[in-house]
A and B are shown apart, each in its own frame.
Chain A
């Protein structure tokens, strides 16, 4: 009688988050009952966990363990003892049967943290979703896929989750960013736009650049008030200014981004681009070389992304850095190194036509007609391949580039292949 009345009071205090009061009551109850009141211990353990003292909380849960193994497992998992936690969860499943989605979900989380537990984690999450679909579970599944680079299944998981809760701004933003990363810009912006409708100040969604620079800048201003020291924000604002051809503002924003996060290669790359646009080739060279140095994984990736020069989404970046470095070096009257940079760029990304054309122009200006003709041929080949590719972008066939190639061909006395105009 006495104990049950206290239990109700303890619960009330707990849900009202009056933790100090609640702990006082718990302690008095525990003193009365000699530490035999399970609910009191349980609530005390929960409060300890809320306050970040996981080890204390684990000790309390172990006191109350006989009836509730789930919390012991959770405490172990929070402490980073994942394999122990999995054992506890297995035991709990023996007791509680296999129809509890939370146990499956928690076990999946532990597997995901363990090395090589990827498949097991996915399996656990699938069981959990079979019992009861849950946003958190879908998000974990998507994260697991995305971490391995499987964007398709990751997006599929999120879309399934959206069927259950179509209004979740968080899910929409995650899906948008994922689509953006896998190169599906149009759908990505649709998702991000919907996410912004639900949560107008969500920084994650805003930070993804739209094609529309003015709209983007307005949105960046909103974020800048909330997070003034966010390097990604300044980088994207700089890119937007670059897109509007306001180069001084772009350089100012990008410099701030570089100050806040000196190890971001994108910022260095964008700075190089902006300096090239303002004719400061030496500075551009330094920034581009920084970008190359900071991005050591030179493996050419599959082409993708939105094709805009200012917004480089992880693809082709090292190759482009080298290509632009070639331009900077050519402007600095260093043809040998410029040629080397172009060669490096072409080796890294053989499908990209622009370096070839720049290389051809450089060789022509040096008087090497044969080399120029070879590079020009490579340019037409690459441009034709690009046009024929299924994911043809509107940006890859630049009319200026085609015109320059035509002029060069005339100067070299070559015939322009049909279809290149």
Chain B
């Protein structure tokens, strides 16, 4: 079995000078396999390249190299759902333009539009702030939840321009661009990964006879993963997977799952759902269930996703990933209380789940238990998470718990750790603390810093306006409120304050428009409803 040791090093030296010579007498294939197992992908790739240069048709070397390349470029996308602008705007998968409340992510049942029958739950927008898209803030920033355009603002229904604006703005931080389409992003990723390979692409997928590969299941699987994750060529992967499924007699769950993934990348969501469901019927797998759930969410069918997760969790009771996914959907639907129980179950299984701890901490903070929230945040700090956001949360929880001497140092740390994206939020929160202490001029300074870093920070503009109005300069307050309303249509406070000022001045037209905009963002706002009642009484009087 041992090949002559001289061959490998000589060839390798020709390919890459940096490659260390093989230890004497070692089989390069065995060594490459060992390196692959130890996740030293670059070394494995080099050894395989050398072996292939000597023997171009060495299947073992080809297999190992494809595997190493795939693993090197592997992106665990089970947690990522980024919708491009095009996907969000031109979505045609949704079935109902105006979905019933509670059946669509665009119209969550709880939160902003729910009647406040729950007796002041912590997900009321008056207690818990909302994101740009009008959702209650969760304790954990997730890519998927913030990008979907807000309530009913789909083109063709109301305000197409507003929908485009919302889609372009996204839910992200200032200065982050959002891809035009998600498939375009994959194409870029593909070219990037290929360009980094010396000597051109390893496999030229366009020239392969995929049907021939489909008949050889072991090679075909490696090739399929390579196409999906290195080439990012979902179309060729789809062809290969379709042929291979056929060759396997439509009984192989693995191929069906890959078919589903390829369909999903191409934006053919219905086909993807069909294949993934079929794969799940063949073999119950957590990853397939998670993928199918994500497809359901992209189709705007949160109820289907929840049912799927619950079903899968009953069969796999030890898997925290399913519970977390269900909790995320609940959060996005504005059912924070139900998500809470799921997070607690997740923590029982996986005591170091950052997401669950962060969400529980945020929940305790918003339900008037800052001391409990502080314990959760401290646990995160102990686990080594030290982001600006976390320090800001620690500072706010300390402040709410009355520990002023700890709150300000925590905020200082947050500012030191903050990048451009987090800094406006941290300054905004420092401003809240300043307001709580009663130092309004310091608060105004903080809010001004926040808007200088992020001119679309609607809440900071609104608070600036309130402080100005307190000081008596109403004209400036009005200007700030106008900016706030343009920057964040979801911030009901700015609409309401603008309406109140207009009402006091007797300009009912402006007041009427503003109060209605505010109620569109938060339908159960009691003061807003009262103001609308007063204005309507004026309008209907003869």
Contacts and interface: CB of A to CB of B under 8 A. Distances in A.
B437 A55 contact: no
Contact of A260 (B127, B400, B438, B507): B127
B438 A293 contact: yes
B402 interface: yes
B506 A226 contact: no
Given A52-B539, A225-B119, A230-B526, A293 B439 contact: yes
A258 interface: yes
Question: Which of B402, B432, B538 has most chain A Cβ within 10 Å?
Answer: B402
Contacts of A80: 502, 505-510
Interface in B507-542: 507-510, 512-513, 516, 526, 535-536, 538-542
How big is chain A's contact interface, by range?
A: 35 or more
A290 B540 CA distance: 43
A229 interface: yes
Contacts of A291: 438
B400 A259 contact: yes
Contacts of A256: 368
B119 A224 contact: yes
B119 A228 contact: yes
A255 B509 contact: no
B328 to A, nearest CB: 26
Contact of A229 (B127, B436, B502): B127
A227 B400 contact: no
A331 interface: no
A286 interface: yes
B116 A229 contact: yes
B345 interface: no
Contact of A79 (B116, B124, B470, B509): B509
A79 B526 contact: no
Contacts of A79: 507-509
B189 interface: no
Contact of B400 (A71, A255, A263, A265): A255
B94 interface: no
Contact of A54 (B119, B124, B509): B509
Given A113-B505, A228-B116, A229-B126, A286 B404 contact: yes
A103 to B, nearest CB: 12
A291 B440 CA distance: 12
A82 B505 CA distance: 10
B109 interface: no
A292 B400 contact: no
A262 interface: yes
A9 to B, nearest CB: 20
Nearest to A110: B506
B368 A290 contact: no
28 contacts: A46-B542, A50-B539, A52-B539, A54-B509, A55-B509, A78-B508, A78-B509, A80-B506, A80-B508, A113-B505, A224-B119, A225-B119, A226-B526, A227-B116, A227-B526, A229-B120, A229-B526, A252-B368, A256-B368, A259-B368, A259-B400, A260-B127, A262-B436, A263-B440, A268-B438, A280-B402, A283-B402, A286-B404
Contacts of B432: 262
Interface of A: 46, 49-50, 52, 54-55, 71, 74, 77-80, 82, 102, 113, 224-230, 252, 255-256, 258-260, 262-263, 265, 268, 280, 283, 286, 289-294
A160 B432 CA distance: 46
A362 to B, nearest CB: 24
Contacts of A258: 436
A15 to B, nearest CB: 12
B466 interface: yes
Contacts of B119: 224-225, 228
B466 A263 contact: yes
A226 B124 CA distance: 13
B437 A52 contact: no
B512 A224 contact: no
B506 A263 contact: no
B258 to A, nearest CB: 50
Contacts of A292: 438
A292 B440 CA distance: 12
B193 interface: no
Nearest to A79: B509
Contacts of A54: 508-509, 512, 539
Contacts of A77: 506
Contact of A290 (B400, B436, B509): B436
B505 A52 contact: no
Contact of B470 (A50, A82, A260, A263): A263
B344 interface: no
Nearest to A230: B526
B538 A78 contact: yes
Interface of B: 116, 119-120, 124, 126-127, 368, 400, 402, 404, 432, 435-440, 466, 470, 502, 505-510, 512-513, 516, 526, 535-536, 538-542
A119 B48 CA distance: 96
Question: Which of B368, B502, B539 has most chain A Cβ within 10 Å?
Answer: B539
Contacts of A71: 542
Contacts of B400: 255, 259
B435 A262 contact: yes
Contacts of A224: 119-120
A289 B437 CA distance: 8
Contacts of A280: 402
Contacts of B438: 265, 268, 289-294
A258 B116 CA distance: 20
B506 A82 contact: yes
Contact of B437 (A50, A229, A265, A286): A286
Contacts of A82: 506
Nearest to A275: B402
Nearest to A106: B541
Contact of A228 (B124, B404, B508, B512): B124
Contacts of B526: 226-227, 229-230
Contacts of A52: 509, 512-513, 516, 535, 539
A236 B510 CA distance: 33
Contacts of B516: 52
A84 to B, nearest CB: 12
Given A113-B505, A229-B124, 5 more contacts: A78-B508, A80-B506, A80-B509, A229-B526, A290-B437
A139 B278 CA distance: 71
Contacts of B541: 74
A5 B368 CA distance: 64
Given A77-B506, A286-B404, A228 B440 contact: no
Nearest to A227: B526
B94 to A, nearest CB: 28
B368 A255 contact: yes
A201 to B, nearest CB: 12
A227 B432 CA distance: 24
B198 to A, nearest CB: 59
B265 to A, nearest CB: 44
A230 B526 CA distance: 8
B340 to A, nearest CB: 18
A228 B535 CA distance: 23
Contacts of A228: 116, 119-120, 124
Question: Which of A50, A52, A280, A290 has most chain B Cβ within 10 Å?
Answer: A52
Nearest to A55: B509
Nearest to A234: B120
Contacts of B508: 54, 78-80
A289 B440 CA distance: 12
Given A228-B120, A292-B438, A260 B126 contact: yes
B411 to A, nearest CB: 16
Contact of A263 (B404, B435, B505, B540): B435
B230 to A, nearest CB: 51
Nearest to B509: A54
Contacts of A293: 437-440
A138 B144 CA distance: 56
A291 B437 CA distance: 9
